[in-house]
């Protein structure tokens, strides 16, 4: 019995919308580092039953991989309150994955949303000045 959810373009948005904290492993069956990371990810899923651990097969779900600009796999992404708070390519060792999960749990999401809004406003301001 696996404790991870297979994410597809059909269930991705719903999963991220319905759950406060979602980890996403972008992987492929031919990828050696992905195979090495899989048991580490599975163990973390078992250790954190309150979180949703999803997996996106980048071969079967090319649209999702492209939508998130996945360049190399495995890539781990963490989404809290529908905001991507972490994204990093590479197979993390168990201790590093545990640390990343702990850090993501401790984030003040009000601060994160405020920071994202400020960055967006800044980007829009720069885009508006570009045409003058």
Clarify whether 34 is annotated catalytic: yes
14: left (phi over 0), alpha (psi -120 to 50) or beta: alpha
CA quadruple 121, 123, 126, 130: dihedral sign: negative
Q: Rounded CA gap, 132 and 129, in Å?
A: 6
Closest by CA to 111, choosing from 81, 88, 87, is 81
Which of 7, 31, 64, 76 does the annotation list as catalytic? 31
- Per the CB < 8 A criterion, the answer to whether 74 and 34 are in contact is yes
Q: Which of 26, 30, 23, 33 is nearest to 3 (CA)?
A: 23
Residue from 34, 44, 65, 92 carrying the catalytic annotation: 34
| Residues designated catalytic | 31, 34
């Amino acid at each position: 019995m696996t404790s991870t959810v297979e994410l597809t373009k059909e269930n991705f948005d719903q999963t991220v919308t319905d759950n406060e904290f979602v980890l996403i492993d972008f992987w492929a069956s031919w990828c050696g580092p992905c195979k090495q990371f899989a048991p580490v990810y599975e163990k973390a899923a078992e250790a954190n039953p309150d979180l949703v651990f999803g997996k996106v097969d980048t071969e079967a779900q090319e649209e999702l991989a492209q939508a998130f600009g996945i360049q190399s796999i495995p890539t781990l992404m963490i989404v809290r309150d529908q905001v991507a708070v972490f994204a990093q390519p590479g197979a993390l060792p168990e201790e590093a994955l545990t640390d990343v999960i702990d850090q993501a749990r401790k984030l003040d999401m009000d601060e994160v949303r405020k920071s994202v809004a400020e960055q967006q406003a800044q980007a829009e301001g720069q885009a508006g000045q570009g045409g003058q």
